[in-house]
Amino acid sequence: MFDTVILLTGPIERAVLPSALLGHNPGLTVVSIERASELAGLSEAVLKRSRLIAFVTPVIVPRSILALVGYGAFNFHPGPPTYPGWAPAHFAIYDQAADFGATVHAMVEQVDAGPIIELASFPIPPHTTVLGLEGLAYAHLALLFWRTAKWLATDRDPPPALPVAWSNRKYSRQNYRAMCEIPLDISKSELERRLKVFGGNYFGVAPSIRLHGVEFRAVTEPQAVSELETLGRN
């Protein structure tokens, strides 16, 4: 019997998203979790009567959990099907893409590969930063959550998948790190392009260059100023 939703997301979302589900099904039990350890701690009995919803989370749900979830697992991905995987906004800005979006899809063992249930698409405004694009994608994901909340909370089966396929190119943390490894012969324009997109020390990864066995890491100007002020106080 479908009576539980497992909501895998951050603390801010855990305070807001359950109300959208409960508004359609007051008798629903919403189990809000954030970490992989909490997911692993759920019993088989709970999983079998549950639907799993992952909303903008870095947690990779293992195959063993997906196999036990009785009423499907669905992910809210902050990017369009053309940018599956890691840091989609970064790579879209780097590619100078004209459009971006947000995607709801069924979860399968492979990351960002399951049938696409809902999506939103929007043009990228001129001069948009990575943070700005992530904010736009998040806003569209929130709208998608409200749009899909009724069937997520009440229907045993999801709606039919859309006739949309994921891109064959999937971005990973390794791809991100590769973009931050600056070759010595890089052109000035390419260096500026990479620093603009990857220079914010996101995920603790900053552009770096190796010279005579020594690694030099780039930092953004505010961080550099803060470090100089710290040195001045010591």
Lowest-pLDDT range of 98-102, 114-118, 217-221: 217-221
The Cβ of residue 37 has, within 10 Å, a number of other Cβ atoms equal to: 9
Query: Which run of H or of E encompasses 8?
Result: strand 4-8
pLDDT tens-place string over residues 114-170: 999 999 999 999 999 999 999 999 999 999 999 999 999 999 998 999 999 999 999
Please state the rounded mean pLDDT for residues 56-70: 95
Closest CA to 138 of 59, 214, 56: 56
Looking at domain 4-154, its CATH architecture is: 3-Layer(aba) Sandwich (3.40)
pLDDT tens-place string over residues 185-203: 999 999 999 999 998 888 8
Burial track 145-178 (b if 16+ CB lie within 10 A, e otherwise): beebbebbbebeebeeeeeeebeeeebeeeebee
Q: How confident is the model at residue 219 (pLDDT cuts 50, 70, 90)?
A: low
Average pLDDT of the chain is: 91
**CA–CA distance, 67 with 108 (Å, rounded to integer):** 9
Instruction: Please indicate whether residue 150 or residue 216 has the higher confidence score (pLDDT).
Output: 150
Say yes or no to pLDDT of 230 above 80: no
Helix axes 173-180, 188-198, angle to 10 degrees: 140
Say yes or no to pLDDT of 227 above 50: no
Supply the pTM of this predicted model: 0.87
Instruction: Please indicate whether residue 234 or residue 104 has the higher confidence score (pLDDT).
Output: 104
- Going by DSSP bridges, is the β-strand pair 50-55/4-8 parallel, antiparallel, or unpaired? parallel
**CA–CA distance, 60 with 42 (Å, rounded to integer):** 15
pLDDT tens-place string over residues 2-40: 999 999 999 999 999 999 999 999 999 999 999 999 999
Q: How confident is the model at residue 210 (pLDDT cuts 50, 70, 90)?
A: confident
pLDDT value for 223: 43
pLDDT value for 69: 97
Q: How confident is the model at residue 106 (pLDDT cuts 50, 70, 90)?
A: very high
pLDDT value for 105: 97
183 DSSP assignment? -
With the CA atoms of 47, 52, 58 and 61 taken in that order, what torsion angle do they form, in degrees rounded to the nearest 10? 40
C-alpha distances in angstroms, 35 versus 80, 81, 125, 213?
25, 25, 34, 38
pLDDT value for 34: 95
pLDDT value for 217: 83
| Domain locations along the chain | 4-154, 176-233
